Amino acid sequence: MAALYSTSSCFCGSLGSYPVHKSVKLGHGKVRDSGFYFPHRFQCATPKLHVQAKALSVDGLPEIMDSSLVVCFGEMLIDFVPTISGLSLAEAPAFKKAPGGAPANVAVGIARLGGSSAFIGKVGEDEFGYMLADILKENNVNNEGMRFDPGARTALAFVTLRSDGEREFMFYRNPSADMLLQENELDFDLITKATIFHYGSISLITEPCKSAHIAAAKAAKDAGVVLSYDPNLRLPLWPSVESARKGILSIWDTADIIKVSEEEISFLTQGEDPYDDGVVRKLFHSNLKLLLVTEGPDGCRYYTQEFSGKVKGLKVEAVDTTGAGDAFVAGTLSQLASDLSLIQDEDQLRNALKFSNVCGALTVTERGAIPALPTREAVVNALVKTVA
């Protein structure tokens, strides 16, 4: 697994005022006819973390249950990744087109691991938008919550791969369709049927998507759905450094599960040491059940109200770190959705995080995010090799 982003980035396009666009609902039909409809609704507003442990599979990990739906909210876009690492965007001879966007990556990652996932977001009513919808469908992700905007394009991001596999970004959003999702376009039935509702911070940057994000998270919280948050800092997309910090922290205290990188801890604490447990604990609010800190190839740290520790990562040769953090999140949420009591058992949580670390590590060995996300079989095989 590798760091989630590069602080050296550039941005093209204005985030200024924009007209309200009409949108159309997805016309591609249902992805699955089963697995997304629950026999009952959650009756309490408190996440159900005290649940009976699920049966373990032959590999010692929780069995993936069809009813354990994770709904991912936010952006989906096209990444253009250079075919040769170590060159600037201007020097790159060619680019590989790859679907991306952190929440969408997580949704596909969960499905590829055998879990149940759905994506809610907006793309352009264009060839790229329909391509992305098809990719979700092909990967067994429920895409009924997708919307298409006829007046805005699907977002694009050109990604520079340094020689060490780390990235720099140039975004084309002025505005892109993902920024224009409105509250009245949300699929609230899908949101409230989830076990976990996962999101990032990019959808908080501009209206109307910001209001849609807040409304979706509130509906999930009120239905007793567990809220999962990965800030996924992309500083060039925010108007200023301070607005990014304020925006990310504005919804911090509502999340039940938070995943951050060591760089994001430094950013949010204004330069404090991200490896100091005392600094990390400052970010642990009273309602938080699990705080995860990713450290690239070194693995991750975990913090709950009762215990904390570190799980080593899997060393691999990094080709492209795009999607590594999203793969880690997918690995974690796919297991928590089947058994939320993992958070209360340190040994089980550590085993789950070993699995998540391998998910991230395998992802950096190929180019692009979604194309590189591993299957459950690949992760289990890699785990077996580490103990052989």
Beta strands 257-261; 226-229: pairing state: parallel
Contact indicator for 223, 240 with CB cutoff of 8 Å: no
> Is the pLDDT at 256 greater than 60, yes or no?
yes
Most confident stretch, 71-75, 165-169, 365-369, 384-388: 71-75
> Is the pLDDT at 35 greater than 80, yes or no?
no
Instruction: State the pLDDT at residue 12.
Output: 34
Span 302-319, average pLDDT: 94
Instruction: State the pLDDT at residue 17.
Output: 31
* CB neighbourhood size of 98 (10 A): 23
Burial of 88 (0-12, 13-18, 19+ CB in 10 A): exposed
Q: Which of 16-30, 305-319, 332-346, 361-375 has the lowest mean pLDDT?
A: 16-30
Residue type, 101: G
Average pLDDT, the chain: 84
> Is the pLDDT at 299 greater than 70, yes or no?
yes
Instruction: State the pLDDT at residue 11.
Output: 32
Q: Indicate the pTM of the whole model.
A: 0.82
Query: Which of 256, 383, 381, 380 has its CA nearest to residue 313?
Result: 383
Query: Which of 114, 121, 127, 173 has its CA nearest to residue 146?
Result: 121
At residue 253, the 3 state secondary structure works out as helix
> Is the pLDDT at 67 greater than 70, yes or no?
no
Show me where the domains of the chain are located.
69-76+100-152+179-387
Span 53-76, average pLDDT: 66
Span 242-249, average pLDDT: 98
Dihedral sign from CA coordinates of 74, 77, 82, 83 = positive
> Is the pLDDT at 59 greater than 70, yes or no?
no
Contact indicator for 341, 68 with CB cutoff of 8 Å: no
Cα separation, 69 vs 225, whole angstroms: 10
> Is the pLDDT at 27 greater than 80, yes or no?
no
**Better-scored residue on pLDDT, 255 or 321:** 255
Most confident stretch, 13-17, 55-59, 98-102, 355-359: 355-359
Cα separation, 89 vs 343, whole angstroms: 42
Q: What are phi and psi of 294, to 5 degrees?
A: -90, 145
CATH of the structural domain 69-76+100-152+179-387, one choice from 3.90.1150.10, 3.30.420.480, 3.40.1190.20, 3.20.20.60: 3.40.1190.20
pLDDT band at 64 (very low <50, low <70, confident <90, very high): very low
**Better-scored residue on pLDDT, 299 or 28:** 299
Span 295-309, average pLDDT: 96
Contact indicator for 264, 3 with CB cutoff of 8 Å: no
CA torsion 374-358-299-301 (nearest 10°) is: 90
Q: What are phi and psi of 69, to 5 degrees?
A: -80, 130
What tokens does 205 get? 């940057």
Cα separation, 295 vs 360, whole angstroms: 11
Cα separation, 343 vs 308, whole angstroms: 11
Contact indicator for 79, 366 with CB cutoff of 8 Å: no
> Is the pLDDT at 53 greater than 80, yes or no?
no
Cα separation, 49 vs 274, whole angstroms: 28
**Better-scored residue on pLDDT, 322 or 350:** 350
What tokens does 384 get? 């077996």
